[in-house]
Amino acid sequence: MENENVPIPKPRAPRVRKPAVVVEAPPVAEQGPTRVQRRPFLVGDMPVKTAAGIAVVAGLIGGGVGVAIAGLTGSTFRTVVQPQVVTINGSSDTSVATAVASKALPSVVTIEVSGPSAAGSGSGVIYSENGYIITNSHVATLGGAEQKATIRVTLSDGRLFPATVVGTDPILDIAVIKINATGLIPVVFGDADSITVGSEVIAIGAPLGLQNTVTDGVVSALNRSITISNKGNGFNFDLPGNEQSALAQDLSLPVIQTDASINPGNSGGALLNTRGELVGINVAIASSGSSSGSIGVGFALPATLVKRVATDLIDFGSAQHGRIGAMVSAVGTANGVIGAIIRDVDPGSPAEAAGMEKGDVVTMFNGVPIRDEIDITAQVRSLRPGDVATFTYVRGGVSLEGSVTVGSLE
């Protein structure tokens, strides 16, 4: 699939803001803006493919910011982060985003990662009051390039903590790290299934290292899937100081699409609903030509999936992923239907037990429309072994339904 240019979206018409009283926010200090020390960054962009064939960039896959450091050793960091609060200059200028930021900012952190040859920064959300933090796997490992990196976490109030990796899931790009702290404010998980296209969302993270940055937008689309390739065809990792991708296999990720501004450094940060509840973890952005910043096409992993994987990582140190044992590809136009066509079925596999046959075209899987092999792979990988999924398929021009008990990828 060739890389296509994505047109720069036209500015969205102004939305009418709802009063900020929707969320019960903690007291907010009224003071002048806080200065944040800036530093130059070399953005590490990782283009990937989507079902539509557009290039998707995830700075350090999904929005992290990277700085190439030749000969770097130890845990040297060069960032100074000032503690920040939400500054309100007048109550008449507040909005839903203001209230959400006041509520959720204490639950969002900035993460710096340092390895022997490169360093980068991203974002994370606090999962528990005793120090567990969720981020992207590519943030915690610099895109898989550093398995024993030094990690430092900055809380929204400016406190700094060293962190250790609890577990990473490179297949779904989720990681859990831990700091030695108590009394933290965990993010409140919302129901990602309850949001709809057009729902207002707020993104919080540290784009370009700028801590506590708040942007807002809407849910542009649901049930999207993006893929990240390791085949060296232009859709792979492009990390500072690394010519080859550290990705072991292609990734297919189920995502929420949003036009909230997400930039390199937002990786692992929060996507929130208007109640200040987490509905997604920001993971990637689309790029247009040489642009590496936001063009209004961002992606987040659904919070329901994130919570399931994070729980597995904390409890077991690893996460499980589904497999059905069928080789699939995008269906050709001659078939007269959109979906994923089954090219082969492994003997003794869950797909065979479910009655799937070569030539079947899967059009729906577990309630999600299937447009191609990326969609069905993303949906299967997001399930646990033993989960039962329903599917709709076309055989001989007839639409049929079935169910499959998902096996284990591991």
Tens-level pLDDT at each residue, the chain (410 residues): 444 444 444 444 445 444 443 344 444 444 443 333 333 222 223 333 333 333 444 433 333 343 322 222 223 344 444 455 555 555 556 688 888 888 989 999 999 998 887 788 899 999 999 999 999 998 898 876 667 789 999 999 999 999 999 999 999 999 999 999 999 999 999 987 888 999 999 999 888 878 888 888 999 989 888 876 555 432 233 333 333 345 556 678 899 998 888 878 888 999 999 999 999 999 887 766 655 666 778 889 999 999 999 999 999 999 999 999 999 998 876 678 899 999 999 999 999 999 999 999 999 999 999 998 999 999 999 999 999 999 999 998 899 999 999 999 87
What class is the 322-408 domain? mainly beta
The reported pLDDT for the residue numbered 148 is 78
Dihedral in degrees, nearest 10, Cα atoms 25, 31, 32, 38: -60
* Catalytic positions, written as ranges: 138, 173, 267
Pick the CATH number of 20-316 from 2.40.110.10, 3.30.930.10, 2.40.10.120, 3.40.50.300: 2.40.10.120
- Looking at residue 223, its amino acid is N
CA distance 190 to 176: 19
| Global model pTM greater than 0.85 | no
CA distance 121 to 46: 15
CA distance 385 to 392: 20
**Comparing 20-316 with 322-408, is the CATH topology the same?**
no
DSSP-derived letter for residue 276 is: S
Q: Are strands 213-228 and 47-50 parallel, antiparallel or unpaired?
A: antiparallel
The reported pLDDT for the residue numbered 81 is 47
Place of tokens 């992290």: 64
Q: Are strands 174-179 and 160-169 parallel, antiparallel or unpaired?
A: antiparallel
Q: Which phi and psi (to 5°) does residue 87 adopt?
A: -95, 125
Closest CA to 168 of 145, 136, 146: 136
The reported pLDDT for the residue numbered 242 is 36
> In whole angstroms, what separates CA 381 from the centre of its chain?
15
Q: What is the pLDDT of residues 85-117, one digit of tens each?
A: 555 555 556 688 888 888 989 999 999 998 887
Q: Which phi and psi (to 5°) does residue 96 adopt?
A: -60, -40
CA distance 80 to 110: 12
CA angle 234, 236, 237 (to 5 degrees): 125
Task: Locate the domains of the chain by residue range.
Answer: 20-316, 322-408
> In whole angstroms, what separates CA 370 from the centre of its chain?
20
The reported pLDDT for the residue numbered 90 is 56
The reported pLDDT for the residue numbered 213 is 87
